[in-house]
Structure 1
Amino acid sequence: MVEKSFQRRLAAILAADVVGYSRLMGVDEDGTLTVVRNLRAEVIETRIAEHQGRLFKSMGDGFLAEFPSVVNAVACAIALQKDMAARNAELPEDRAIQLRIGVNLGDVIAEDGDVFGEGVNVAARIEGLAPAGGIAVTSMVHDNVGSRLDLSFEDMGEQQLKNIAQPVRVYSLGAPSGTSVRPTAVERIKPSIAVLPFTNMSGDPGQQYISDGITEDIITELARFRGLSVVARHASFHFANKGKSHIEVARELGVAYVVEGSLRKLGERIRITAQLVDAITGNHVWADRYDRDAQDIFAVQDLVVAAIVTMLEGRMYAAEAAKARAKPTTSWSAYDCLLQGRNLCDHQRDAEAVPLLERAIAVDPHFALAHAWLAIALTISNVIVLDDDQMAKAESASKQALELDANDATSHWARALYYLWTGDHYRSRFHFDRALTLNPADMQIKGDYANWQRASGRPADALATIDAAIDLGPFVPDWFAAVRGLTLFDLARYADAVEALESVPVQRSSGFLYLAAARAIRRLNWCK
């Protein structure tokens, strides 16, 4: 018999759990589960990825993460507590979700993606010594961080920890000097905003994709500003042509401001009007009209974004809006092809989008977004039966997109999808993490990240992620129900899988095979 070998290494371990979880569950079980699930998907996983960490274990009320750098682990702990303070600032004290965090640097054993050993056990034990909303660290962490971070420590003395032979000196970690863990009002309250689909005034229904594409680009650019809370695209687009008032839309989306506008294209001239409305008072905060050549569409988008940011976030400079996006292309023709192709992808007609996206690249070979969407279209249209030639084109397009713009979320998403469907889950995870860091509010990236978790054998995590993505709604793409149904099938929750998969249009998903299997298994269970 061959003895199994283990990998030993030195690692920084972060352990955390929710304070008073049982009490919160007793007060509101469904609400607490939803809040904790969203917290993990929107804050915890994002912060860990930003600090080059890896979440390797999660429980109902806690999680464990590994970092190659102790400085990164401590910085992540501080960022998490600041995020939690910001989320709790407007909640009643008895409904606040607080974390205790422990950080240790020690020897660990790695096996099959899991990490265990005394280094992990110590982190989990000292976490219980931290105050609510606080951080406890071992002397190893204290000594190694030193002056590299501007921190204050309180010596808690040597502690005898359960199942740990030798006493461990523990320190309570204070906030960085001059920084309050409880954020200021500007940091705590983010203006919430929804951008409604711009009305196509061209008299040609075939031009609607231009209005939709410009609306989507404005949403994407606004989402880059962390001082704003921007409603996801699919939720905003649900209200197209519904005839609802600003106040009704804002109430359903839970936002304080609404952007609306119109677009008219006549030949090579384009007119865009945009206005920002305070949904609480109904007053117009700002409005403007732009008459430009079609080639100047990107300058108009920058002006709209800059105006909105300036009005809602006085602490931001208009110059930041100008820098938020490098011009994707100088060609209106290339951009027009991109919008048409992206519109087809949104309607799950990816194969039809390929020629349009290839045309955009032929016009402007340096158009990063066109390369990214070509990679997405090629990958998605070939996932049922992988065509080697087409997937090679997808690989090349996604690589080119990143070479042209390494700081674009869509480019990383395209690369992540390629690696996901070709089985390189490690590289796929890296690019998903980067895409979500660049655009944490992108619903579709979260949906595909759930696909990655499912393919990586983490169906419970996948369910939490897809549910968090659905919660970004309230209106989501049809394929989200397919991902959720397949994940429930993996979890052997066959009745729930049937319910989810029955809501998916059969012509849009191969999930009908799983639906048939789930129905059969459910029937067998009933007959036992």
Structure 2
Amino acid sequence: MDRRLTTVLVADIVGYSALMDRNREGTIASLRSFREDTLQTLLADHGGKLIKSMGDGWIVEFKSTSDAADCAIAIQSAQKPGGFRLRIGIHTGEVVTDGDDIFGDGINIAARLEALAEPDQVLISDTSHNSLDRGDAALFYGGEQTELKNITRRIGVWCWPKGTSANLQTTTDVRPGIAVLPFDNMSGDPEQEFFADGITEDIVTELSRFRWLMVVARNSSFTFKGKNTDIREVGRALGARYVLEGSVRRAGHRVRITGQLIDAESGSHLWADRFDGVLDDIFDLQDKVTLEVVTAIEPSLRHAETNRARAKPTDDLEAYELYLRAQSHFHLLTDQDNREAIRLTTLALDRDAEYAAASGLLAWLHIQRMVQGLEPIGEGPKEAVKAAERVLLSDRADGIAMAYAAHSISMLARDLQRARVAFKQALEENPNAATVHMLASINLVLIDRPEEALKHAVHSVNLSPHDPLRHAAYIAQASALFHLGQYTEAAKACRDALAVRSSFVMSHLMLIASLGQLGDDDAARKAVMNLQALRPELSAASAQTQMPIFTVPSCANDWREGWLKAGLS
């Protein structure tokens, strides 16, 4: 692999999918003509090397930033057959060569800028602009862009042509915006056009009643009437984060209205529904549909905004970095690594006391010390419970942080039912998070529901079969299986856990008890020897054997009996 500093131009055709839908053969012919007659000539004239062609876009490398800027402006100024339009982004940065391909920040930032550009516009990063060998009156400063996906630093952006808007500057209205596109009249009857437009206008009016929401004016959204436009383009053009679109279809005296709410940035669907009615009183039906649509989508909008806020757990990048460093130590289970993780997490919280994920991790780190039989740090369990309480009271806690907190109050405060409620919420927030299922399983064991616990523990491993925390999921399985009297399966789960983390004390203790109950004396003695080699002072009377998972009334005697049978006294 070869690393080098270079300037990258990324270009993309606006609304390519819609163009292909309307006229596939004509679009392909126009694209071929532009590529062969215009693009290749301009790249040759400006020293551009075509790195990748993606059908609807291109990645080009330049040795000179000035050549890249001149070429981009020439491309945008050129006549384009078929009337298609381009967006272009340029950035100067380090790239890595792998065969004929290149990747790295040079490409990533150029691609992010291209996605932000308006049709026919060029966006140039501050790094590239600083590299220009001359001033360029055609460019103007568009401000700092702070939300480039996966890019942590602020990027200053320069724009061409002068006078265009890149939608980069911060506006005074920070409310999330929604655009309601004119509902399509699918009836084939022009007379019904007024009904479709009336539905749209009423929805705009009703949504405007929510003060937390910025609704694009009717006249602006109606400029897209009758056009087959990419939703992302609509969002950019109207400054809207969400777009509501729909259709009206009439058959005799019956009418069906459909609607769907779309995230204009990601293109994902947030809500969709249909409404059927009779045209006996068209105005009553119009009012009914408007009310039902607005009532349905408002919670979806609030939920989307909540998730968006939680996806950005902290504004302090240093706090975030400290949290990530703490995570890397958390998985190693040693006293030294645990202490370092606590130190780093505490520093993160010093910078942002409301950082819910960091509070949740801090709570679990103190539990880790207790489970491993390490000396408490500070107030130990009390500190963990305090951190957990902060998470449960936070409106910035995602499902993962909430699960950390619920685990803490379950294991330390023994508030099992409150923890169960928190786990239900965490599972609703993150239904596909392996860690949430794993911790929820442990809580279900503690409230003596082993069948449900086993399902969550198995699902946790299925969701993330290579997870560094899967030893804990196997332990959750082993605990549930032991409660169910399935000692052979419990021993296997313990061995799976030890294959992932051989130093995890709970895995050894559960394996010994399972083998003791099976009467497998040789294997049990070997398991005891392995534990004593790791922790020679540990016995059946040690603090670890008094952990909540071993003291559930219906099973506590079975654990102790298993240890004694195995020879752990």
TM-score relative to the length of structure 1:
0.35
TM-score relative to the length of structure 2:
0.33
Whose RCO is larger (CA < 8 A, sep 6+)?
A: 1
Highest CA radius of gyration, 1 or 2?
2
